[in-house]
Amino acid sequence: MSATEIHDPNRRDFLYIATGMAGVVGAGAVAWPFIDQMRPDASTLALASVEVDVSSLQPGSSLIVKWRGKPVVVRNRTEKEMKDGEAVSLNDLKDPIARNANLASDAPATDANRTTPGKEAWMVMVQVCTHLGCIPLGQEGDFGGWFCPCHGSQYDTAGRIRKGPAPENMAIPVYQFISDTKIRIG
Amino acid sequence: MSEGHSTYTPKTGIERWFDARMPLPRLIYDSFVAYPVPRNLNYMWTFGGILSIMLTAQILTGIVLAMHYTSDTNLAFDSVEKIMRDVNSGWLLRYLHSNGASFFFVAVYIHIFRGLFYGSYKAPRELLWILGCIIYLLMMATGFMGYVLPWGQMSFWGATVITGFFSAIPLVGNWIQELLLGGFAVDNPTLNRFFALHYLLPFMIAGVVVLHIWALHVVGQSNPTGIEVKSKTDTVAFTPYATIKDAFGMIVFLFIFAYFVFYLPNYLGHPDNYTVANPLKTPAHIVPEWYFLPFYAILRAITFNIGPINSKLGGVLCMFGAIAMLFLVPWLDTSKVRSAVYRPWYKLFFWLFVADAILLGWLGSQPAEGSYVFMAQMATLFYFAFFLVVMPVLGLIETPRRLPNSITEAVLEKKNKGAGGHPAGAVSAPETKG
Amino acid sequence: MKKILTSLAVLGLLATGVGAAMAQEGHAEAAPTHFPINEPKEMSWTFAGPFGTYDKAQLQRGLKVYKEVCSACHSMNLVAFRTLEGLGYSEAQIKTLAAEYTIHDGPNDAGDMFDRPGKPSDHFPAPFPNEQAAAAANGGAAPPDMSLLAKARGVERGFPRFVFDIFTQYAQGGPDYIHSLLTGYDQTPPAGMAIPEGTHYNPYFLSGVSLKMPKPLSDGQVTYDDGSPQTVDQYSRDVAAFLMWAAEPHLEDRKKTGFRVLVFLLIFGALVYMTKRKVWADVAH
C-alpha cells in the first residue's frame, strides 16, 4: 500500500461508502425470502378459482361455496327481489359504489351493476359483512336481503348496505358464466 | 463489562438520558466498540463471530419454516415437501436451514480445535471453555432433534438408534427410553416433543452464548502466542479492527456455505431421508449426520464386554465419555505454556488428534465390519489417549520453545522477519491512524 | 495457514492409503456382499453444473414414459398437474392433461364419494388405493412413490470421489442410478449366483442381486413425436431427467439465484477485504 493512497481521503471514503452500500444491499436481498414466504403459496393460489354448477338453483334459492376460504353466495333471485332492488334510488344508498370486481371501481351501485348483464336474476357475492367480517343471514332484515346478527347491519336484495354500522356494500368477486349453468368464481 | 472502567462518554441528550436510566448504549460501546482485543489475532479467531451469525440465521430460517411445518407423523414429510415445492422461496429457506446446521457444526469444530491448539481453555478461561462445551452439547441435541422433523427414513431410524442409547442404562434404561419417546417406539408423541424442544433449545443456546461472551469479556481474548495482554500497545479496539476482520471472515465462510446451499444442497444429507419414515423397514446402513460420525464410530467400536459392563453400555459410555473429555481439558493439560506454537510435541499430537477425529468420522460412515472395526478401536484408543495420557504427560516432559516477552514483541519479530528487517520503530501504535 | 494445509495433505494421503487397502478386499463374484454390484454409469445431464437447466423437450418425453409405462404401478403423489408448467406446457395444455385423469373426490352434498375429471390443482392420482393394495398387486413389494425418487436414490461415492464431487458439483447420483438400473436388465448373472424366485437380476440394483420389478421398458414401446430414438437407453435418460425435475422442480431457480449470490459475495468480500487492509494499514499484526 503506497503512501499516496493513504493520504487521499476521497478514495478512502469511497471505499467505505461502497462497502457499506454493498452491505445494505446484501441485507435487503437476504430479508426478501423471509417476507416472500408469507405470501399465499402456489397450492393456495392454484385453488383461487372454483367452478359452480348452478343448474339446480330455482328462483328464490341460493347456494354457498367456499372461495379463498370465504363463503360466496350464489342466489337465483325472485322477480320481487329484482324489482325491489331496481326500485331503490341511488340517493337512498349508504354506499353508492357498486363494489363489483368485474366493473370499474367507481361504478354506481345500481341493481344492474351488482349483477351481470343478461343474468340480472343472479347475485354472486362474498357473503361477508363489510363491518367486521361476520356472515350475514340471507333473506332477513327490513330490506328482505341480508341481515348481520353480529352488529345489526342490514343489506337489501342486491347486497347493498342500507342500515347499521357496515360501511360498504358486500363485495362481488370476479366471476363469469362459462355456460348457462356454470359459473367460474375467481 | 470488561475491566470496570468505561471510556464511554454520552454525546447527545438522548444518549445521556438513556445512560442515566438503562446504560445499554454504554454496554454496547464497551463490549463491541472500545473493547480491547489482542492485535495479533489470526483468522481462526473470526469463528466466534461466524458462529453468532450462524445461530441467528438458523433461528430466523427455523422460525419461518415452523410457520409451514406440521409435526404430525402423517403430515410432517409432506409438509416439508410443500415447503420445498409450493411455499414462496421455501426451497431456499429449507436448504439454508438444513445446510446451515452442517455449517454451524463446521464452524464450531474449527472453533473448538482452535481452542485446543492455542490452549484457550487454560486459566483463567476454564469457565469460558466449559460454557462453550455446554453450547456444543445443546447444539448436538438441537441438531439431532431437527434431523427427526422431516420424518424421513434416516430421521426415524436415527431417532430410534439414539434414543436406544438410554436403554443401555442398567435398571432404569427402558423406563427412561419410554419416557423420552412417549411410547414404546418413535411415533407421533416423539415427533411432537422433538419439534417443541427443537424450537426451544436454540434460545437456550443463545442464552448460554450470552454467558460465554460475558465470560470472554471478563477474562479477555486469548491469542496465538498465548501470552496475556500486558500493555495498551498489545491491543487494538474491537471496532473497527476486529469487526472488519470478522466481517471478512464471515463473508468467506458464507461464500462456501452458499456454494453448498445453491449447488450441492443434498451433498451433506442422506438420500434415504427423501423416503418417508417406515417403522417396519430399516435402511441398509443407518448413518447419522456427518457431525456425529466420530462419536458414532466410537459407539460402534466397543464390541466387547469390559468386566461387568456389557458392550452396549460400554459403547454408550465411551461415546458420552468422548464428549465429557472436552469438559475436563482445562485440568488434563498440565503445560504452563498455552499455545501449541511454542510446544513442538503438543503440536504434533494435536494434528494427529485432528487426523484421528477425521478418521473416526470416516469410519463412522462405513459399515461396521471387517477391518473397519479394528481401525475404529485403534482410533478410539488414540482419541482417549490424547486426552488422558498425552495432555497430562506432555506438559511435564516437553521443553517448550522460547516465549516472546509480550504480544507486541511477537508481532514485531514476525513483521521484521516478513518484511526483510524493517526497524521495529517504524511500526507505530495503532491509535495514530484516524 | 500453510501448516494447516500441509497437515490436511498428509491426512489425505493417509486416508487414501487406507481407502486403497479397503478396496483390495475382494468378494466372490457369485456371492457379492456389497451392492450395487456395478456402479451407476455417469451420464451427461443438461441440469448438471452451475448453469444447468432442464431440457424441456426431454422432460416432456420423460413425462410420456412415466404416463404410459411407470404410472401403471408407481404413484407420484407430491406432483401437482399445475407444476407441469415447468415442462413448458401452457395452462390450456395442462388443463387438458389433467382432465385425462379421473380423481376420486368427495363427499358431495349427499355424502357420497364421486369421480370427476382432474383439475390443474390436483396431484397425479395413485395407481393403487393404498400401500397394502400396491404390495399385494406386485408380489409383496409396493412400488415406491416416484415424486422424490431421483433424490432418494444414490450410490455411495466413496473416498476420494466424494471430495472431488464438491468441486465438480456432482449431484446427479439419483438420475444416474435410475438410468443405469433401467438399462441394466437383460444381463446374465454370474455362474452359481442364486436369484430368488420372482425377482430379476440387475447388477445396478442398490440393495441386492435382483429386484421384484421386471424389465419395464423395451425398444419402441413409447412413441416419440419429436424424432428422438425410441430405445430403452433414451427412454431411461428421459424418464430419469423427468424424475429429477419431479424431485427438484426449483433446480434452475436455485442455480440461477446461487450464481447471483456468489457473485455478490465475491464483490462484497473484495470490498470488505480492501477496507480491512486500509483499517489495519499501520497496525502490525
Q: What is the mean pLDDT of each run of 10 residues along chain B (434 residues)?
A: 69 91 92 93 96 97 97 96 96 97 98 97 96 98 97 95 90 93 95 97 98 95 94 92 96 98 96 94 90 95 90 93 97 95 96 97 90 95 97 95 92 76 43 36
DSSP state of A168: S
pTM, to two decimals:
0.89
User: B209 and B12 in contact (C-beta within 8 Å)?
Assistant: no
> Does residue B161 share a domain with residue B47?
yes
- Domain presence at residue B5: no
- Domain presence at residue B337: yes
- Domain presence at residue B19: no
Task: Say which CATH number the domain at B143 has.
Answer: 1.20.810.10
The total of structural domains in chain C comes to 1
All residues of chain C having their beta carbon less than 8 Å from the beta carbon of residue A22 are 264, 267-268, 271
The residue among C15, C52, C39 whose CA lies nearest residue C163 is: C15
> Does residue B250 share a domain with residue B348?
no
Q: Is A24 on the interface with C (CB under 8 A)?
A: no
All residues of chain C having their beta carbon less than 8 Å from the beta carbon of residue B84 are 250
Q: Indicate the residue of A32, A37, A44 with minimum beta-carbon distance to B90.
A: A37
Task: Say which CATH number the domain at C236 has.
Answer: 1.10.760.10
- Domain presence at residue B239: yes
DSSP state of A182: E
- Length of chain C measured in residues: 285
> Does residue B262 share a domain with residue B320?
no
Report the DSSP beta bridge partners of residue B236: B37
What is the spatial distance between Cα A63 and Cα A67, in angstroms, rounded to a whole number? 13
What is the spatial distance between Cα B407 and Cα B414, in angstroms, rounded to a whole number? 11
pLDDT surpassing 70 at residue C186: yes
Across the interface, whether the CB atoms of C82 and A26 are under 8 A apart is answered no
Give the neighbours of chain B: at least 3 Cβ pairs within 8 Å. Answer: A, C
Residue type, B289: E
pLDDT surpassing 70 at residue C103: yes
pLDDT tens column, C143-178? 999 999 999 999 989 888 999 999 999 999 999 999
How near does any CA of chain B get to the CA of C154, in Å? 6
Spell out the per-residue pLDDT of chain A, length 186, in tens: 444 445 555 667 889 999 999 999 999 999 999 999 999 898 888 877 788 889 889 999 999 998 888 999 999 999 999 999 999 888 889 999 999 999 998 899 999 999 998 888 999 999 999 999 999 999 988 898 999 999 999 999 999 999 999 999 999 999 999 888 889 898
> Does residue B356 share a domain with residue B266?
no
Task: State CA B394 to chain mean position distance.
Answer: 26
Q: Is B22 on the interface with C (CB under 8 A)?
A: no
pLDDT tens column, C200-235? 999 999 988 999 999 999 999 999 999 999 999 999
The residue among C138, C153, C127, C126 whose CA lies nearest residue C212 is: C138
What SS3 class is residue A41?
Answer: coil
- Which position has the grid cell 407441469? C84
φ and ψ at C126, to 5 degrees? -85, 145
pLDDT of residue B250: 97
Residue type, C147: S
> Does residue B122 share a domain with residue B78?
yes
pLDDT of residue B424: 42
User: B225 and B339 in contact (C-beta within 8 Å)?
Assistant: yes
- Domain presence at residue B241: yes
The residue among C70, C40, C71, C80 whose CA lies nearest residue C249 is: C80
Order of strands, sheet of A122-126, starting from the edge strand that comes earlier in the sequence: A61-67, A70-76, A122-126
How many degrees, rounded to 5, is the angle at CA C222 between CA C219 and CA C225? 115
The residue among B185 and C5 whose pLDDT is bigger is: B185
Cell (9 digits) for B343 = 510446544
> Does residue B218 share a domain with residue B87?
yes
Q: What is the ipTM of this complex?
A: 0.90
- Domain presence at residue B193: yes
Would residue A151 show up in a list of annotated catalytic residues for this protein? Answer: yes
> Does residue B228 share a domain with residue B309?
no
> Does residue B247 share a domain with residue B216?
yes
- Domain presence at residue C116: no
The total of structural domains in chain B comes to 2
Name B70's Cβ contacts closer than 8 Å, sequence gap at least 6. B76, B79
- Domain presence at residue B145: yes
Across the interface, whether the CB atoms of A46 and C82 are under 8 A apart is answered yes
The residue among B411, B431, B412, B410 whose CA lies nearest residue B423 is: B412
Give the domain range for residue C252. Answer: 35-79+123-275
> Does residue B319 share a domain with residue B374?
yes
Give the domain range for residue B160. Answer: 31-271
> How much of chain C exceeds pLDDT 90, in percent?
71
Long-range Cβ pairs for the range A23-29 (8 Å, 24+) = A23/C268, A25/C264, A26/C264, A26/C268, A29/C264
pLDDT tens column, B200-241? 999 999 999 999 999 999 999 999 999 999 999 999 999 999
